[in-house]
Amino acid sequence: MKDRLKLSLPVVALCLGSLVSCSPTVTLQAPSEPITINLNIKLDADVRLRVEEKAKQDVATKPVF
């Protein structure tokens, strides 16, 4: 019985060691470049609004014909 235990203990340890070594690992890393946010849409809408307001003022104050 002792001989069997002596043989099975290393086998069990080897199996457990291989199971632990195969476990997946997850790593988190910050990006190497900073995050950029493109604001062209907001600026474009702001420019269009200003041009539209200026056009309404020009039509109201200056006769077309």
pTM, two decimal places: 0.29
Q: So what's the pLDDT on residue 53?
A: 84
**What is the structure's pLDDT at 60?**
82
**CA angle (37, 41, 44) in 5-degree steps:** 135
d(CA 23, CA 25): 7
- pLDDT reported for residue 59: 81
* pLDDT digit string (tens) for the chain, length 65 residues: 566 666 677 788 877 777 666 667 788 888 899 888 876 666 666 777 788 888 888 888 887 65
